């Protein structure tokens, strides 16, 4: 399959009165994207924290309570997304959320196939808020998913700002970057990271954002962002590398159609070959020439 239609979300979390509201909400989002022909749907980081609201405001607005309540609901959320993926024949990167792994919370994004099969990617490097206030830890290894849409990997938010993580996933044709950032500065950092990873690996990066937030949902009280799809500014891609970009803090899907053949071509015969030439930047520690120039 060469041409792929992607939907990436700018998703505002909601305070949920009951499970039926969550089910209806997620169903409507998936149905809208699938109805537009999207084959891959990308929800943002920590969108699953809205599940904590099902336990009531005293729980959802408390750090430990929100982590526990969201983690407890994750199996039900996975089952819902698996059913929707099967019904609509789509891949879905679920909104990530806290998952209790042997008494330690990780930030986990589940990836669902049209067959209903589910795997996951854990965030690798924690932000200061996650490590200093939440106590969330880095999770399991980076993964390369071999799918009917090509090779796909995930870097969750802050992870996208680290080039060696991106390089470890250099075989991926599509790199999914779910994010949540309170301020425009944070959104800009992740967006720059997403665009840099597209340049380095000559791939397409797909950024989703949690927006607006909710005052009764601990950790996601605020959110600034938009959907974005980026490629290398080279042959077969826009000159600025921006394939698609949603409006800032405008809720909804941002769509883009990607041609895997364009990725293969730019990697083989681009104007520049960043991916191939990566190893030429061998470590230069101890090999710097100090020059006094006054």
Q: What pLDDT does residue 241 have?
A: 98
Whole-angstrom distance, CA of residue 273 vs CA of residue 199 = 9
Structural domain includes residue 151: yes
Q: Assess if residue 278 is contained within a domain.
A: no
Are the C-beta atoms of residues 9 and 43 closer than 8 Å to each other? yes
> What are the E-state strand segments in 94-230?
97-101, 104-112, 118-122, 145-147, 150-154, 174-180, 204-210, 228-230
CB count in 10 Å sphere of residue 7: 28
Neighbours of 128 (CB within 10 A): 8
Domains of the chain: total: 1
DSSP state of 125: S
Residue 290, pLDDT score:
84
Q: Is residue 159 part of a domain?
A: yes
Alpha helices in 115-259 (DSSP H): 128, 163-168, 184-201
Nearest to 8 by CA among 38, 37, 28, 49: 38
67 in helix, strand or coil? Answer: helix
For residue 65, with 0-12 CB atoms within 10 Å meaning exposed, 13-18 middle and 19 or more buried, which class applies?
middle
The closest of 219, 180, 175, 224 to 196, measured between CA atoms, is: 175
Q: Hey, what are 273's tokens? A: 């070959």
Question: What is the mean pLDDT, run by run of 10 residues, along the chain of 294 residues?
Answer: 94 98 98 98 98 97 96 98 98 98 96 98 97 93 98 98 98 98 98 98 98 95 98 98 98 98 98 96 79 90
Q: Rounded to whole angstroms, how far apart are CA atoms 259 and 227?
A: 19
| Closest to 179 in 3D by CA, of 165, 192, 164, 191 | 191
Please check whether residue 282 lies inside any domain of the structure.
no
> Does 259 fall in a domain?
yes
CATH label of the domain that carries residue 88: 3.60.110.10
Q: What is the pLDDT of residue 288?
A: 80
Going by C-alpha positions, the residue among 207, 126, 203 that lies closest to residue 169 is 203
pTM summary value: 0.97
* 294 lies in some domain: no
Would you say 101 and 53 are in contact if contact means Cβ atoms under 8 Å apart?
no
pLDDT for res 285: 73
d(Cα 22, Cα 12) in Å, to the nearest integer?
Answer: 13
pLDDT given at position 167: 97
The DSSP annotation for 250-280 comes to --EEEEEEEEHHHHHHHHHH-SS-HHHHGGG
Q: How many helices (H) and strands (E) does the chain have?
A: 8, 13
CA 266 – CA 233 distance, rounded (Å): 10
Q: Which residue range is the domain that position 91 belongs to? A: 3-271
Residue 292, domain member (yes or no): no
112-161: pLDDT as tens digits = 999 999 999 999 999 999 999 999 999 999 999 999 999 999 999 999 99
Separation of alpha carbons 268 and 259, rounded Å: 15
Question: Residue 101 is encoded by which pair of tokens?
Answer: 């792994």
Question: What pairing do the DSSP bridges indicate for beta strands 174-180 and 150-154?
Answer: parallel
CA distance 209 to 179: 5
Task: Give the pLDDT confidence score for residue 202 in this predicted structure.
Answer: 98
> Does residue 276 sit within a domain?
no
């Amino acid at each position: 399959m060469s041409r792929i239609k992607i939907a990436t979300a700018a998703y505002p979390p909601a305070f949920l009165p009951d499970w039926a509201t969550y089910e209806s909400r997620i169903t409507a989002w998936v149905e809208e994207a699938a109805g537009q022909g999207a084959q891959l749907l990308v929800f943002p980081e920590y969108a699953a924290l809205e599940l904590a609201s099902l336990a009531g405001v005293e729980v959802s607005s408390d750090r430990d309570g929100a982590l526990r309540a969201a983690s407890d609901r994750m199996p039900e959320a996975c089952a819902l997304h698996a059913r929707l993926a099967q019904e609509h024949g789509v891949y879905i990167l679920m909104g990530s959320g806290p998952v209790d792994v042997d008494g330690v919370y990780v930030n986990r994004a589940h990836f669902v196939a049209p067959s209903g099969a589910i795997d996951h990617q854990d965030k690798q490097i924690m932000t200061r808020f996650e490590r200093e206030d939440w106590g969330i830890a880095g999770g399991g290894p980076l993964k390369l998913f071999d799918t009917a849409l090509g090779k796909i990997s995930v870097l969750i938010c802050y992870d996208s700002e680290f080039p060696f993580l991106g390089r470890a996933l250099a075989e991926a044709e599509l790199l999914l970057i779910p994010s949540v950032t309170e301020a425009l500065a944070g959104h800009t950092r992740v967006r720059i990271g997403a665009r840099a990873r597209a340049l380095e690996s000559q791939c397409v990066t797909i950024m989703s954002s949690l927006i607006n937030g909710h005052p009764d949902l601990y950790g996601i009280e605020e959110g600034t962002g938009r959907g974005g799809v980026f490629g290398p500014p080279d042959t077969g891609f826009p000159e600025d590398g921006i394939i698609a970009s949603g409006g800032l803090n405008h809720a909804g899907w941002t769509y883009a159609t990607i041609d895997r053949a364009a990725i293969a071509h730019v990697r083989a015969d681009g104007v520049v070959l960043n991916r191939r030439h990566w190893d030429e930047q061998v470590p230069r520690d101890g090999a710097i020439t100090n020059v006094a120039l006054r």
